[in-house]
Chain A
Amino acid sequence: MKQAERLVVVGNGMAALACLEKLIEWAPQAFAITVYGEEPYPNYDRVRLPAALAEGLAPEELILNPLGWYRAHDVDLRLGVRASAIDRDARVVEGSDRSRTPYDRLILATGSRPILLPLPGIDKDGVYSFRTLDDCERLRVGAERSARAVVVGGGLLGLEAAAGLRRLGLEVTVVHLLDGLMERQLDLPGSRYLERALAAQGIRILLGRTAAALLGNGRVEALALADGEVLPAELVVMAVGIRPDRELAQRAGLACRRGVVVDDRMGTSDPRVYALGECAEHRGICYGMVKPLYQQARVLAARLAEVAVPAYLGSRVSSRLKVSGIKVFSAGQHLEAAGDQVVRFEDAGRNVYKKLILREGRLLGAVLVGDDSEAADLDDLIENGQPVSLAGPLAGPSRAAQASAGCSESPDTVICGCNGVSRRAILEAVEAHRLTTRADVARITGASRACGGCGPQVDALLRLTVEQAGPAGRPLCACTHLTRQEVLAAIRGRRPQSVPGVMRDLRWSGDGCSACRPALAYFLTLCWPQHPGDLGASRHVNERVHANIQKDGTYSVVPRIYGGVTTPGALIRLAQVAERFEVPLLKITGGQRLALLGVRKRDLPAVWAALAMPSGFAYAKAVRTVKTCVGSAYCRFGTRDSLDLGIRLERAFEGLWMPAKVKMGVAGCPRNCAESLIKDVGLLGTERGWQIQVGGNGGTEVRQAELLASVEGNEEVVELVGAFLQLYREQADYGERTSRWCSRLGIEEIRRRVVEDVSNRRALLARLEPALSSRVDPWRERVQGLRTRESGVRREYERPPSVPGMVDGETVGSEAAF
């Protein structure tokens, strides 16, 4: 195995960690990684610092990669250690703790530093920058003993800090050098609307004013403006901008301009050294937003992992002001050039301002203040460069509204702009990891992890996946681009078909696979129960032969013994058959019935005929056994007649094809001797009636069943169980047990559809009815087929024909199998 290369990362922020996460995903073990982090925290969400200030979040709540993450991935994290120098000849990074770490590759992700104006008094107590978690903490402490604050700088960060301080109850004034706020994102009219919105929150805005000096005796007491006005304040935040931190790179002799100069694959002037994030300058631009830095991280990770991804060609940036109650969005160009078409919408009453800039029929920029509901649409239009009509962009329904309504979007639509996470990626992760919460989605995909702006859309997608069975947007398997729901709808919408016919109609690629072919066979039985057709070639041998193949090629025969209750006659027949066919093993199964093991395939029809008992479906994805306790028939504790109900349930639902095997249990009292709480459907008798428990599992993933409903009579039990089974049949993925499916859908949702929504229950039962009424016992069917010399049955079960010159299998080879 290749020796792991030594990778040193200077910087422990969002860019560095985004890159490392991808790198570890793509090339695990390829690098021995050391990270220098000057701040005393593991990677945290710098984007949400203003929110943290305003809402008083604890530092831990911003942590993106807890220390355990570093440990789990063998990343050597040097917390609180500043990289003080790089010796490029020796290929060593020197730390402020005098450590020397050799590298084969070096990533610089030093970020940026706040610009501190060289004002007299800038070093006074009570003057803060707002860049780090420590800054945030200091600011919060400072705010507690302050009544008045001045924020110097009316850009995104300054305004977010101002809003945070205002929410903490301070009197806040923003001093801005220019005539309009957020001049890199807004035009002047847009700024006016934003000023009004801020004023409404009690924030005072001074435009076109210059800070001149900080006054006070040790502690700041006021900010003096160049025009002589003095603004009393116990707290001053300097938020006039950031500057890429290129110092370390510069001292090491790497090419720098405003930032560390990088090429399209994040390489610096030294082939072993890379840079990304705010410290990097790409094609003359230093980015200060999280989205481009994540894009860069991906490109660099791919380069290091030797994974092919397109080069980094720069980012188109959009921004949102993250101030509670004020919507500001800006994307693309915010100032029009001569000849551009401009669409403006103003509603002074609602304080809404919108401006779109179009050139040659394409959207070039958008500014939204007060209402950003079209932001995602507009962002996409700018990104894609699709032609747009003037009426369109502001007139159509917003996609955010569509998403929350569960409408279909393109799977490639980017939901999380910060992390570049598509709808498809979120849905796939939700499915693959069975995610149920926004925090889970953030952890796995990164979506909503940075600014949180897409949180509602992530929630909507979570709801959507719960609504639909299986993954919306995810193909059934690699043989098709259609989802499970789409395939089902197509099968339902056409005439009854064969599996190859479905694959042909739906433009399957190739001949299907061992995942989709049995699923399609099941879907056909689900949609067209009265037209079974010949599904044999797409079923597992067990479901084709109606017996369970054993390791030596023989089969097991498990007849149905309803509720585990048998008779002397049945037992005598079983014993006689076992003797007559020299069945090597006769065993009582875990499901309260008797299994004949080691039966030769060609003996199966004769064994079935001699038994004259229905198939127990012990080989199938179907209702298998209903385990019962003795119940009130004989048990001195029994409160309910579990035998009667168990037999009734087994008769009601035997022979029904299911997405996976279904086991039931009926216990006559809460002592639960039938182990009902680990059954797919479990009944517990109580003084008042029955508890219907569903989604239990006693197999590899043990899960306790959950209460679906408590009912009084057997009729209600059968009805609710039927509706539950039909919902499961229709909604679960093929092969998905009720335990997983219940976890995924949630018992409340299942209860709503099966128990509470009576009309839905009736609809489920109506759809179940044709499947129930078209059941036939497969054993009897085959015995009769053989009697009538039906060719398919003969071919399946009879010994291979004697061919001249061909030696019959009986005489040689694996005799038992013939």
Chain B
Amino acid sequence: MAGDWLPAGESADIEPRRGVRRCVEGREVALFRTGEGELLVVDNACPHRGGALFEGLVTGRTVVCPLHGWGIDLGSGRAVPPEEGGVATHAVREHEGQVEVRLAKSVKDPTEER
């Protein structure tokens, strides 16, 4: 069953090529806007050492973790090879200047066998 759409702040707070951090139902997520305006949301913890992804450099649909430079594909949540692992991705929508997120189930790592 899909979860509910939850408020996650204002659209205007998320500038192109930047990320912000929000806490949604106790879960810390990172919201990014790409250079083309697309919004993407993943858990705010790099699979490597838990770095705060929202502080990373956004290039295209990839964010580069500020701690050790791992790339994370924001569409799939997977680490950019040769790194392995990934983070959960969440659905996001914008409505009348507000951002809403629908959290994925408690999947930490999309590459793990379930």
Interface size class of B (residues with CB under 8 A): 35 or more
The residues in B between 11 and 59 inclusive whose CB is less than 8 angstroms from any CB of A are 13, 15-18, 20-28, 34-35, 49, 51-52, 55-59
B60 within 8 A of A: yes
Contact B17 A553 (CB under 8 A): no
C-alpha spacing A71/B107, complex, angstroms: 51
B85 within 8 A of A: no
C-alpha spacing A487/B58, complex, angstroms: 21
C-alpha spacing A44/B97, complex, angstroms: 73
Q: Which residues of A contact B60 (CB under 8 A)?
A: 510-511
C-alpha spacing A795/B10, complex, angstroms: 11
Contact B6 A511 (CB under 8 A): no
Contact A807 B26 (CB under 8 A): yes
Contact B26 A812 (CB under 8 A): yes
Closest partner residue, chain A, to B22 (CB atom)? A800
B104 within 8 A of A: no
C-alpha spacing A803/B101, complex, angstroms: 13
B35 touches which one: A500, A805, A812 (CB < 8 A)? A500
Closest partner residue, chain B, to A804 (CB atom)? B7
Give the most central of B6, B8, B23, B66: most A CB within 10 Å.
B23
A817 within 8 A of B: yes
A541-555 vs B, Cβ < 8 Å mask (1 yes, 0 no): 110010001010100
CB-CB under 8 A for A808 and B23, given A540-B66, A551-B49, A803-B8: yes
A202 within 8 A of B: no
- What's the minimum C-beta distance from A656 to chain B, rounded to whole angstroms? 23
Contact A800 B59 (CB under 8 A): no
Listed A/B pairs (30) with beta-carbon separation below 8 Å? A500-B16, A500-B35, A510-B59, A511-B35, A511-B58, A511-B60, A512-B59, A514-B69, A514-B71, A517-B59, A518-B57, A537-B15, A537-B17, A537-B58, A540-B66, A541-B55, A551-B51, A795-B20, A800-B20, A801-B10, A803-B8, A803-B22, A806-B7, A806-B8, A806-B24, A807-B26, A808-B23, A813-B23, A814-B28, A817-B52
C-alpha spacing A346/B17, complex, angstroms: 67
CB-CB under 8 A for A813 and B10, given A514-B59, A537-B15, A800-B22: no
Q: Which residues of A contact B66 (CB under 8 A)?
A: 540-542, 549
Contact A801 B21 (CB under 8 A): no
B67 within 8 A of A: yes
B64 within 8 A of A: yes
Residues of chain B whose beta carbon lies under 8 Å from any beta carbon of chain A: 6-10, 13, 15-18, 20-28, 34-35, 49, 51-52, 55-60, 64, 66-67, 69, 71
Q: Which residues of B contact A541 (CB under 8 A)?
A: 55-56, 66
Q: Which residues of B contact A808 (CB under 8 A)?
A: 23
C-alpha spacing A817/B71, complex, angstroms: 21
C-alpha spacing A549/B57, complex, angstroms: 14
Q: Which residues of B contact A813 (CB under 8 A)?
A: 23, 26-28
Interface size class of A (residues with CB under 8 A): 20 to 34
- What's the minimum C-beta distance from B41 to chain A, rounded to whole angstroms? 13
Q: Which residues of B contact A518 (CB under 8 A)?
A: 57
C-alpha spacing A724/B8, complex, angstroms: 50
Contact A812 B23 (CB under 8 A): yes
C-alpha spacing A500/B58, complex, angstroms: 12
Q: Which residues of B contact A800 (CB under 8 A)?
A: 9, 20-23
C-alpha spacing A553/B10, complex, angstroms: 24
Give the most central of A538, A545, A817: most B CB within 10 Å.
A817
* Closest A-B pairs by Cβ, 9 of them: A537-B17, A541-B55, A511-B60, A809-B23, A541-B66, A514-B64, A813-B28, A553-B52, A812-B26
Give the most central of A500, A511, A517: most B CB within 10 Å.
A511
A513 within 8 A of B: yes
Q: Which residues of A contact B13 (CB under 8 A)?
A: 795, 801
CB-CB under 8 A for A803 and B7, given A537-B16, A813-B23: yes
A513 touches which one: B6, B55, B59 (CB < 8 A)? B59
Contact A511 B34 (CB under 8 A): yes
Residues of chain A whose beta carbon lies under 8 Å from any beta carbon of chain B: 500, 510-514, 517-518, 536-542, 545, 549, 551, 553, 795, 800-801, 803-809, 812-814, 817-818
Q: Which residues of B contact A545 (CB under 8 A)?
A: 55
Closest partner residue, chain A, to B28 (CB atom)? A813
C-alpha spacing A809/B52, complex, angstroms: 13
C-alpha spacing A723/B57, complex, angstroms: 32
C-alpha spacing A795/B14, complex, angstroms: 9
Q: Which residues of B contact A540 (CB under 8 A)?
A: 57, 66
C-alpha spacing A795/B9, complex, angstroms: 12
Q: Which residues of A contact B25 (CB under 8 A)?
A: 807
Q: Which residues of B contact A814 (CB under 8 A)?
A: 28
Q: Which residues of B contact A538 (CB under 8 A)?
A: 17, 57
Closest partner residue, chain A, to B58 (CB atom)? A537
A541-B55, A795-B20, A813-B28 are known; give 14 further A-B pairs, CB within 8 A.
Answer: A511-B34, A511-B35, A514-B59, A517-B57, A518-B57, A536-B18, A537-B57, A537-B58, A549-B66, A801-B13, A803-B9, A806-B7, A807-B24, A809-B21
- What's the minimum C-beta distance from A794 to chain B, rounded to whole angstroms? 10
C-alpha spacing A537/B35, complex, angstroms: 10
C-alpha spacing A801/B8, complex, angstroms: 9
C-alpha spacing A513/B60, complex, angstroms: 8
- What's the minimum C-beta distance from A444 to chain B, rounded to whole angstroms? 25
Closest partner residue, chain B, to A534 (CB atom)? B15
C-alpha spacing A539/B17, complex, angstroms: 11
C-alpha spacing A514/B66, complex, angstroms: 10
Closest partner residue, chain A, to B16 (CB atom)? A537
Q: Which residues of B contact A806 (CB under 8 A)?
A: 6-9, 22-24
A805 touches which one: B7, B56, B57, B59 (CB < 8 A)? B7
C-alpha spacing A511/B49, complex, angstroms: 26
C-alpha spacing A445/B7, complex, angstroms: 59
Q: Which residues of B contact A511 (CB under 8 A)?
A: 17, 34-35, 58-60
Contact B23 A807 (CB under 8 A): yes
Q: Which residues of B contact A795 (CB under 8 A)?
A: 13, 20
- What's the minimum C-beta distance from A387 to chain B, rounded to whole angstroms? 43
Q: Which residues of B contact A803 (CB under 8 A)?
A: 7-9, 22
C-alpha spacing A804/B8, complex, angstroms: 9
C-alpha spacing A801/B66, complex, angstroms: 23
A809 touches which one: B28, B49, B51, B64 (CB < 8 A)? B28
Contact B57 A553 (CB under 8 A): no
C-alpha spacing A812/B56, complex, angstroms: 22
CB-CB under 8 A for A537 and B21, given A512-B59, A514-B59, A801-B13: no
C-alpha spacing A549/B51, complex, angstroms: 10
- What's the minimum C-beta distance from B101 to chain A, rounded to whole angstroms? 9
Contact A514 B23 (CB under 8 A): no
C-alpha spacing A567/B75, complex, angstroms: 53
- What's the minimum C-beta distance from B34 to chain A, rounded to whole angstroms? 7
Q: Which residues of A contact B7 (CB under 8 A)?
A: 803-806
C-alpha spacing A537/B24, complex, angstroms: 24
C-alpha spacing A512/B59, complex, angstroms: 6
Closest partner residue, chain B, to A817 (CB atom)? B52
Contact B26 A805 (CB under 8 A): no
Q: Which residues of A contact B8 (CB under 8 A)?
A: 803, 806
Give the most central of A518, A800, A803: most B CB within 10 Å.
A803
- What's the minimum C-beta distance from A219 to chain B, rounded to whole angstroms? 68
C-alpha spacing A184/B20, complex, angstroms: 74
Closest partner residue, chain A, to B6 (CB atom)? A805
Closest partner residue, chain B, to A503 (CB atom)? B35
C-alpha spacing A513/B22, complex, angstroms: 25
Q: Which residues of A contact B35 (CB under 8 A)?
A: 500, 511
C-alpha spacing A805/B26, complex, angstroms: 11
Closest partner residue, chain B, to A513 (CB atom)? B59
C-alpha spacing A518/B57, complex, angstroms: 9
Contact A537 B56 (CB under 8 A): no
Give the most central of B10, B66, B71: most A CB within 10 Å.
B66
Q: Which residues of B contact A807 (CB under 8 A)?
A: 23-26
Contact A549 B9 (CB under 8 A): no
C-alpha spacing A541/B26, complex, angstroms: 25
C-alpha spacing A744/B65, complex, angstroms: 31
- What's the minimum C-beta distance from A809 to chain B, rounded to whole angstroms? 4
Q: Which residues of B contact A553 (CB under 8 A)?
A: 51-52
